[in-house]
Amino acid sequence: MKRLAGGLLAMLMLTGATSPAANTLDIYFIDVEGGQATLMVTPTGESFLIDAGFPGDGTFASKPGDPAQARDAQRILAAARDAGVRQIDHLMLTHYHADHMGGVIELSQLLPIRHFIDHSAPSAEAEVGVPGTMALYDAYVALRARGTHTEPKPGDRLPFGGVDVVVLASAGEVLTAPLAGAGQPNPACTGTGEPAQEKTENPRSTAIRVQFGAFRFLDVGDLSGAPLFALTCPTNLIGTADLYLIAHHGGNDGADPSLFAAVKPRVAIFNNGPRKGAQARTFATIRGIPTLDGWQLHRSGNPGVENVADARVANLDESTSAWLKVSASPDGSFIVTNGRTGQSTAYPR
């Protein structure tokens, strides 16, 4: 508490000396080369991190090591410093794959993590699909035991300052009733949707909708297959959102236009790598919606891909590791800043 009080005092002195702190929810889409690490910070400095990237030097085979050398944990630390936060108040792991949970051990050695949110344990088949999953999970369980722990069900609310965070799906279950204001039939639904490219952990991803005033952000992790389709087909259970982090890094199993038709995002972000995620059909879906801007964490070299304009790509090659930062206001307007160029695009309410 002493450190917190000191931090608050320092913050008050700083804000007293300059203009009042901006009343924005800031969201950093951190470049973890095709994994996920998304840091949200409220106007009062409360932090909520969704996933922690890869371990070590950043591959599925990497092991957690020296946090000073940990590629993704260091990138998360840099974003935390930019946001002025000194601890992770809430960490949500969408699911147990190394590109999402891998960096958590090293990150915990750089920043204290207080509250852990997850869907309990990997499915029995996860180790077969991605060897090493159980070893990472066992280390995570030991870490998790040092903080508070929540295993939410669809429909539950997660604590996060004055921000409304509602769980849409987790452990393969999805909402059974529409959120307030949702529930419309979705005429864009056809068939049963895209099959999941990975069938063990991805369809068990924990998905959330974040609401700050009139602004909404949809993050479904790697949710894919039947649970993703069920969110907006045949009925839109989740309503609309201004900002959407495209399911499964923008892979073709996140390309079904029916979700975009229901959610009506104004900006959709690919958290892709140079070869990971970001497949051609998803780009085609996005190009087919004139009111939607796509933004990418990386220019993609995948076959058949037509990347968005360079100004909306954070990293054109491997020489940079820039983030995309979204600053959202309660009136629903938001600004997207490309960390590589420093240039911002404003989206009015």
Q: Contact positions toward Zn ion, by CB under 5 A?
A: 99, 222
- To Zn ion, the closest distance from the beta carbon of 38 in angstroms equals 12
Q: Dihedral angle at the C-alpha atoms of 197, 172, 270, 284, nearest 10 degrees?
A: 60
* Stretch (H or E) spanning 216: strand 215-219
**Judged by CB, which is closer to Zn ion: 14, or 128?**
128
Three-state secondary-structure class, residue 2: helix
Name which of 89 and 253 has its Cβ closer to Zn ion: 253
- Minimum CB distance to Zn ion smaller for 222 or for 253: 222
Q: How many angstroms separate the CA atoms of 193 and 199, rounded? A: 14
Is the CB of residue 48 less than 8 Å from the CB of residue 159?
no
Query: Is 191 in contact with 74 (CB distance < 8 Å)?
Result: no
Shortest Cβ 238–Zn ion spacing (Å): 21
Q: Which is nearer to Zn ion, 52 or 111 (CB)?
A: 52
Distance (Å) of CA 318 to CA 73, 171, 274, 299:
18, 34, 8, 10
CB of 99 to Zn ion, least distance (A): 4
What is the closest distance, in whole angstroms, from the C-beta atom of residue 21 to Zn ion in the complex?
A: 33
Q: Which is nearer to Zn ion, 122 or 239 (CB)?
A: 122
Which three-class secondary structure state does DSSP give residue 64? Answer: coil
Retrieve residue 142's tokens. 């030991």
Q: Please provide the size of the chain in residues.
A: 349
Q: How far is the CB of 222 from Zn ion (least distance, A)?
A: 4
